[in-house]
Amino acid sequence: MLNTSDILETIQMIRQDCLDVRTITMGISLLDVAGGADSAGCISNRIYDKITQKAEHLVATGEQIEKEYGIPIIHKRVSVTPLSLVGGSLDQDGYVEIAKAMQRAADTTGVNFIGGFSALVHKGIARGDAALMEAIPEALASTHNVCSSVNVGTTRAGINMDAVNICGNIIKQLAVLTEKQDCIGCAKFVVFSNVPEDNPFMAGAFHGVGEPECVINVGVSGPGVVRNAVEKHPDADLSQLADVIKKTAFKVTRMGQLVATEASKRLQVPFGIVDLSLAPTPAVGDSVAHILEGMGVERCGAPGTTAALAMLNDAVKKGGAMASSHVGGLSGAFIPISEDQGMIDAVNCGALSLEKLEAMTCVCSVGLDMIVIPGDIPVTTIAGIIADEAAIGMINNKTTAVRLIPAIGKKVGDMVEFGGLLGYAPVMAVNSFSSKKFVLRGGRIPAPIHSLRN
């Protein structure tokens, strides 16, 4: 029979340490319903039909696995081919219509989020990309579950500063259009550098062009479990602690792999990847910041935080890589503010600043995430923040992203409430000096040289 202590350990991980599968995300290719010269209505119908057909049993299957294995599966999501590749010759209004069709598909299938209202513009902006980007503010303001992303830079192509400026504008417009809902529109839009094509997490999930017709990707969430394991070893040195984290990550990821394999089998859709990211939630005890504090920094943001995060992130990957047959997506600790109680507390007590967060993103994914800034911050400053983060990704050959929420009418220290997994967050201070002249130069920051690495 199974070892009693192993069984009780698993039950404690689930019941007390908030272990769960964050998402089963079904990736669906829409390349075969691409538009050409068809009307928006025609393309929208084809998109709706394909998503609802492929994802018809996704939610029910997820719920069944959840029940049989006793593992909470928090979200069931869909990601689709970046729609700028599908929309053909549509204009801005046409893309808004497509976003509404995606929302209808989400309603029909019952999925929590649907991602892929996206454009890849790291080297330049094609006609469809421009129309889609113009449509983003209205598309996200008029839907609830549709998520959008734009990739503005890669290590091989450099950073498209024209796209960065457009994204700064999109973020500001989204905030204005959804002001009455605490600017929630911004929480559904993320700007990437080196975006992965198989990411199951929102808002940045889309189904890349190298992906199969349909695929199952799974993201796990285990900050509470890792924190508990770390806190049980208060006197271990860092070599020993890294081993503890690796072993814990192995167990968490094996659970994700089991769920992914089972979902893939039942839905008769190939398994893609397990994303090893530690994804926090606002629930007490499910915080990445609390792991870092368990490792020994007094508050997240104190000197030593970046080193602790680097070690944590690496140990999670090492443990997780052996537990899964295919690892992909973002696979790094997430450090959002609003979705992590420890981060919120660290900001409130003055331990954590935007600048320290930027430093932390150098050693983990996924960038400046769910950070609320004052609503009167100039668009060019938002573009400057995006450019900084994209540069970290470009130079270090890693994924970085920016999901900022300019809270209209709010000032530093005010609270903004999003609800659910998105949580709540205090408005953070932003450096008041201008980046206007730099970002408005436009053009492209050339791709970096990779032989002289220092």
Partner 1 sequence: MKAVVTVTGKDNVGIIAKVSVACAEKGANILDIAQSVLGDYFAMIMLVDVNHLDIPFVDFVDVLTALGNQHNLRIDTMHEDIFNSMHRI
318 belongs to the binding site for partner 1 (CB under 8 A): no
Mark the segment that binds partner 1 (CB under 8 A) among 2-10, 190-198, 266-274, 311-319: 2-10
Number of Cβ atoms within 10 Å of the Cβ of 444: 17
Q: At what angle do helices 305-323 and 238-267 cross, to 10 degrees?
A: 40
Cα–Cα distances in angstroms (integers) from residue 392 to residues 148, 155, 249, 363, 402, in the given order = 22, 10, 26, 10, 11
In 3D, which of 378, 336, 340, 339 has the Cα closest to residue 357? 336
- Taking residues 33 to 72 in sequence order and writing x for each that binds partner 1 by CB under 8 A, - otherwise, the string is -------------------------------x--xxxxx-
449 belongs to the binding site for partner 1 (CB under 8 A): no
266 belongs to the binding site for partner 1 (CB under 8 A): no
* Closer Cβ to partner 1, 323 or 357, answer by number: 323
SS3 for 154?
strand
* Closer Cβ to partner 1, 2 or 449, answer by number: 2
4 belongs to the binding site for partner 1 (CB under 8 A): yes
257 belongs to the binding site for partner 1 (CB under 8 A): yes
- Do residues 329 and 273 lie in contact, with contact meaning Cβ atoms separated by under 8 Å? yes
244 belongs to the binding site for partner 1 (CB under 8 A): no
22 belongs to the binding site for partner 1 (CB under 8 A): no
* Closer Cβ to partner 1, 244 or 391, answer by number: 244
E-strand ranges in 9-71 read 20-28
Tell me the C-alpha distance between 21 and 221, whole Å.
6
227 belongs to the binding site for partner 1 (CB under 8 A): no
E-strand ranges in 311-412 read 368-374, 400-407
CA torsion sign, 298 to 300 to 306 to 312? positive
DSSP β-ladder status, 158-160 and 368-374: unpaired
31 belongs to the binding site for partner 1 (CB under 8 A): no
The nearest distance, CB 433 to partner 1, in angstroms, is: 50
15 belongs to the binding site for partner 1 (CB under 8 A): yes
11 belongs to the binding site for partner 1 (CB under 8 A): yes
Instruction: State which of residues 77, 123, 251, 410 lies at the interface with partner 1 (CB under 8 A).
Output: 251
212 belongs to the binding site for partner 1 (CB under 8 A): no
258 belongs to the binding site for partner 1 (CB under 8 A): yes
- Residue 340 CA, distance from chain mean position: 14
Binding site for partner 1 (CB under 8 A): 1-4, 6-11, 15, 64, 67-71, 251, 254-255, 257-258
